[in-house]
Every structure is written in C-alpha cells, then in structure tokens.
C-alpha cells in the first residue's frame, strides 16, 4: 500500500499553522490565568508590584504603608525602573504573570545548561522533575522571587561577552544586580575574564557601561518620584536583621564578635577559587560554578536563593558520561532533598537551618566530576 505524504510546501504550511495555533492557545491561556488570578506572592508584592504601583502614582515607592500594614521593599531600583509597568496590573495579576515567567525561565535554564535546544528526552524530563520538586524552587515560586531571572540574565550576559557585545551584556548584568548579593562572584569573574581576554581598557569600559545602565534603569524613578534615594535608604535601614542561612550570618550567631573574622578567610578562599575557575574554564562553563559557589559565599541569602546551584546540576546531568558519575550525582541530590525534608519535619524549620543545602549540592557535583575524571583516567591507561 502506498504511504500518504503531505507535499513539502503544504507540510511547511501545516507546521506553521500548528505552531501558530499552539502559540495562540498558550497566549490565550496565559492571558486568562493572569486576568482571573487570585494568587498572590509576598516578595513580589513588597519588592516590585507595590513599589511600582506607588511609583506610577508619584508616591514614595519604598514606603509601603499606604498599601500594606507589613512589608518592606529592598530590591535595588534597577528592577523597579525596568518593570514599573507591572504596577498597572492588580497585585494578583502581577503575581500570576511573575509565576508564569519564572516557570518559563526555569525551563529555559534547563535548555541552556543542558547545552542544546533539543536535549535528550530522558535527562531533560528528570531535570525538569528534579527542579520543580526541589524545595528551594518551590519556595522561590511561591514567594515570587527574583533569583531565577537574575540567573538567566547573568547567563545571557556571559554569552554576550563571549560575542563581544559588551553594551547589551552590561545592561543584562545591571538588571541582574537588582539583588547584588547574587552577583558577588559572577560579576568579578566576568570582569576578570574580560581583563584576561581583552585587556585592562576593555574591562574598565565594561564597568563604565555597567554604571551607565544602572543609572539609566533608575531614570523612571527620578521622573516619577525624585526623592526615591532617601526612601530606599530608609527601607534598607528598617529591614530587620534576620538570621539567614549564610555562614556570614550563622558564624556571627554562633561565635559572636569572632564570627566575621572566621567568615572572612572562607570568603577570600571561595573568591580566589572563583577567579581561578574563570581563568581555567570557558566562561559559559565558569558561570555555572560561580553561581553554585555564590550560595556558599554570599553574605546575604535565603533558602529560595539556593536555586543558584541548579544550572550547574543540570549542566552536570548532561555533561557527565560515566554511569557511576551519574549515580553519585543523583544520589547526592536525593540525599540533599532528604536532608531538607528531615530538617522541615524534625526541627522548627527556621530558614537559617537550611544553610547546608548549597554545600551539600556543591560537594555532590564536585564528587561526581572527580569520579568522572578518574574513570576517564583509568579508561585511557
């Protein structure tokens, strides 16, 4: 029997029609979800939607008291200057839109870290399941946090630097630094790479471009409410001194006045390791390690920020070749997940108790690569 086939021109039209129909369905679904949303998120409400709503009405964006009894806005002004139109939506609509955006970003990060737009199906499915069942990811999505977007922006910035597109790279990095503690290793590492590759003048020029974009991104705040700097300073001063799951915070809790002096050498070591990574590795690989180290090195972090390790984890899933390396990687991930669950069910689950998460996952990934290297070494003998 002769097999029926669609002629090539008709086949292309058919695929175009299906793609258009799929985009229409997805777009309509997103619009419906946003328009009918009753979902709300604490961090987005306090740090982006609330400030944007007030800014558009020419009120102090860093004083939330006209809107909420509780809450404090502490994200840097670059995010507000870029996303201020979100204040035109309702709180619930903006929360749903941000949730959908974060889910899309998480899937995109899997594709980027996997190294291909058409990844192998089984690793891709396992990575997606692992990411969305990972407690820090769940906390991140529920809170309406900024970290996933910052990760994507930093990955894109590094890629653009490799293509010598410094202007756009600086813009994306400036936007990522709305939470500057997340770029504490990536930004210096990227600058170090530019210095090694293109020299001192290019590194200085990149800093100038970065400063230019930071100033330009704050321009809407100056237009709508010129006195915003004092409002931001007051908000930062009023931010409670929480104990959070960074060793910077915990060392001061455990060792009092000696805590800072115990943490500082650790940070210097991690900072030096980070620069060495940028010296030895390709920048698009080095950035994964920088992000993973950030969860251990940054002085200010919350458990939802531990999604910083996930790009390196996904990269390892797709790059490790030996079965034993994959076993080590996945067993370590499951152990970390189990330890998080135990902490949540057997303690009072204060956020600082999850300090071990980035260290466990980083050591797991490192161990998997060590196993991989030894297997290759023995295999070549």
Mean pLDDT of the 276-287 span: 97
> Residue 290 belongs to what domain range?
18-64+74-227+244-380
Residue 184 within a domain = yes
Mean pLDDT of the 362-378 span: 88
Residue 11 within a domain = no
Q: With bands split at pLDDT 50, 70 and 90, how would you rate the model's confidence at 10?
A: low
Tens of pLDDT, residue by residue over 21-37, are: 788 788 887 788 778 87
Residue 361 within a domain = yes
Residue 49 in contact with residue 83, Cβ under 8 Å? no
Residue 299 in contact with residue 246, Cβ under 8 Å? yes
* More confident call, 123 vs 16: 123
What's this model's pTM, rounded to 2 decimal places? 0.93
Domain count, the chain: 1
Residue 29 within a domain = yes
Residue 148 within a domain = yes
Residue 209 within a domain = yes
Write down the pLDDT at residue 168: 98
Quick one: tokens of 352? 């600082």
Backbone dihedral angles phi then psi of residue 281, each to the nearest 5 degrees: -105, 160
Count of residues in the chain: 381
Question: Is the pLDDT reported for residue 50 higher than 90?
Answer: yes
Residue 112 within a domain = yes
- In the block, tokens 């204060």 appear at 350
Tens of pLDDT, residue by residue over 129-185, are: 999 999 999 999 999 999 999 999 999 999 999 999 999 999 999 999 999 999 999
Mean pLDDT of the 190-194 span: 98
Q: With bands split at pLDDT 50, 70 and 90, how would you rate the model's confidence at 304?
A: very high
Residue 152 in contact with residue 182, Cβ under 8 Å? no
Residue 233 within a domain = no
Tens of pLDDT, residue by residue over 320-366, are: 999 999 999 999 999 999 999 999 999 998 999 999 999 999 999 99
Question: What is the C-alpha separation between 111 and 124, in angstroms, rounded?
Answer: 8
Question: Is the pLDDT reported for residue 381 higher than 50?
Answer: no
Write down the pLDDT at residue 28: 83
Write down the pLDDT at residue 70: 84
Question: Is the pLDDT reported for residue 2 higher than 60?
Answer: no
Write down the pLDDT at residue 195: 98
Tens of pLDDT, residue by residue over 60-72, are: 999 999 999 888 8
């Amino acid at each position: 029997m002769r097999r029926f086939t669609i002629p090539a021109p008709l086949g292309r039209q058919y695929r175009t029609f299906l793609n258009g129909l799929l985009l229409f369905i997805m777009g309509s679904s997103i619009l419906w979800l946003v328009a009918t949303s009753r979902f709300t998120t604490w961090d987005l409400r306090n740090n982006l939607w609330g400030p944007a709503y007030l800014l558009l009405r020419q009120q102090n964006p860093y004083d939330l008291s006209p809107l909420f009894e509780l809450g404090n806005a502490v994200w840097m002004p670059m995010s507000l200057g870029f996303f201020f139109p979100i204040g035109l939506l309702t709180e619930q609509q903006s929360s749903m839109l941000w949730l959908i955006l974060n889910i899309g970003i998480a899937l995109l990060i899997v594709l980027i870290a996997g190294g291909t737009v058409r990844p192998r199906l089984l690793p891709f499915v396992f990575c997606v399941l692992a990411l969305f069942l990972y407690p820090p990811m769940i906390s991140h999505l529920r809170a309406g946090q900024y970290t996933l977007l910052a990760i994507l922006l930093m990955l894109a910035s590094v890629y653009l630097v490799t293509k010598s597109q410094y202007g756009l790279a600086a813009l994306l990095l400036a936007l990522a630094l709305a939470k500057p503690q997340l770029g504490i290793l990536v930004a210096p590492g990227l600058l170090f790479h530019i210095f090694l590759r293109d020299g001192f003048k290019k590194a200085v020029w990149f800093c100038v471009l970065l400063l230019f974009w930071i100033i330009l991104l704050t321009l809407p705040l100056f237009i709508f409410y010129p006195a915003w700097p004092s409002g931001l300073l007051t908000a930062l001063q009023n931010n409670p001194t929480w104990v959070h799951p960074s060793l910077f915070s915990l060392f001061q809790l455990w060792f009092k006045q000696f805590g800072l002096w115990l943490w500082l050498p650790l940070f210097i070591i991690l900072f030096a390791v980070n620069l060495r990574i940028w010296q030895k590795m390709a920048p698009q690989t080095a950035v994964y390690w920088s992000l993973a180290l950030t969860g251990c090195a940054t002085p200010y972090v919350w458990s939802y920020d531990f999604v910083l390790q996930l790009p390196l984890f996904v990269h390892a899933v797709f790059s490790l070749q030996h079965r034993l390396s994959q076993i080590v990687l996945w067993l370590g991930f499951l152990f970390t997940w189990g330890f998080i669950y135990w902490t949540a069910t057997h303690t009072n689950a204060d956020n600082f108790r999850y300090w071990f998460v980035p260290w466990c996952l980083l050591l797991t990934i490192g161990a998997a690569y060590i196993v991989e290297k030894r297997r290759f070494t023995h295999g070549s003998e």
